[in-house]
Amino acid sequence: MKREEKKLRAVITGGGTGGHIYPALAIAKGLKNRYNDAELLYIGTKEGLEAEIIPREGLKFNTVSASGLERKVSLKNIKTLLRFSKGIMEAQKILRSFKPCVVIGTGGYVCAPVMLAAVVQGIPTVIHEQNAYPGLTNRLLSPFVSRVCVTFEESIPYFKKKGKIAVTGLPVRPEIYKTTREQGAEYFGLDPDKFTILIVGGSRGARSLNKAAVPLIQWVVEEGCRQAVMVTGKNCYDEVLKDLLGFGIDASRFSNIKVVPYLHQMEYGLAAADLVISRAGASFLAELTVRGLPAVLVPYPFASGNHQEFNARALEKKGAVKVVLDKYLKGRVLLDEVQRLLKEGRLGEMSENSRQAGRPHALDEIIDVVSGVLKKA
């Protein structure tokens, strides 16, 4: 990565959920790597997850007033609009004081007042959209900002000004693609030469996915020639262990299955895996595609705008994954899907298609877009 000599002052905004915050953090690190003495300020809300995460990461942090709109006419929406107006004024004050060269947003309702304040002040602006179906905030902001970076090319039709768009992908940590299979297997005490399935239910757990995975775990145990790592989510761990006992499986007694409540270092799970079963959050899909992993995806059915299904269908269209809707997760559905993929010998082709969909240089491409905007300013 070429380093820029000139001083950079940048504001980054995005929040509410980790799906907006972690890409923003990756961009912050990319800016620091590219620009000498980069001075960064993160703007979020007091209520969002960013208020906990960002100060811990050592970034300067300021807050503005913002909250999400309901999809129906309500008294709450009137209050939201009043908070939005207040948030714009607060953001304008912060921007006038900090004097950034560029403002970068990664979505979430906090982006709206901050990005609009930047537009009013004539500051160059870049937004990044993680999902195949763009969030409402980014869709509304896109006509006014300087450039739009997207993860999925399938999201392009939802933006009005196509000439502003760059398909960059979504940044992932280098550890995701640098960790070896041997390191992944060693982390779990597994055999690196055996076919391994990684099942991920999310940080808090996906009850329907976990229940559907139990017959699959039973099959892995009975066959003996394959392995599985199951990340249940913290809220579902005890329930999954109980469900497995109902099938006569004490997870602690079998060396070819590992059941854990949470996996902080997902690079080891992905490195050990030959096949992934998971939800379809954009960040996780970016990680599995840079590793070229095939997957069976079960989109979370209550994601805003059903964006997880849009993400999953985008990869299914590329031949990298199979999609099973949550409402069909009954009995042996997941087991039958895995057995079908193995019988048909399709995993090699799916793996290559997944690799083709991955964008390991996404962060560099996003920083290139930011640099281009700065040069035109």
Q: Domain spans of the chain?
A: 9-172+360-376, 175-357
Q: Which residue has the tokens 């019988």?
A: 343
Pick among 3.40.605.10, 3.40.640.10, 3.40.50.2000, 3.40.710.10: CATH of 9-172+360-376: 3.40.50.2000
Both tokens of 197, joined, read 């399935």
Question: Is residue 276 within 8 Å of 200, Cβ to Cβ?
Answer: yes
Please, which pLDDT band fits residue 1 given cuts at 50, 70 and 90? low
Which of 40-49, 65-74, 181-190, 234-243 bottoms out in mean pLDDT, i.e. has the lowest?
65-74
Candidates 268, 1, 265, 19; CA nearest to 129 is: 19
Burial class of 52 by CB neighbour count within 10 A (0 to 12, 13 to 18, 19+): exposed
Predicted local confidence at residue 81, as pLDDT: 76
CATH class of 175-357: alpha beta
Candidates 56, 58, 66; CA nearest to 13 is: 66
Cα 26 to its chain centre, rounded Å, is 12
Predicted local confidence at residue 72, as pLDDT: 63
Q: Which residue has the tokens 């099942």?
A: 199
Predicted local confidence at residue 7, as pLDDT: 84
Cα distance between residue 275 and residue 195, in whole Å: 8
Whether the predicted pLDDT of 68 surpasses 90: no
175-357 and 9-172+360-376 share a CATH fold: yes
Tens digits of per-residue pLDDT, 75-111? 676 677 788 899 999 999 999 999 999 999 999 999 9
- Give CA separation, 63 vs 57, 104, 124, 197, in Å: 16, 15, 20, 42
pTM of the predicted model, to two decimals? 0.91
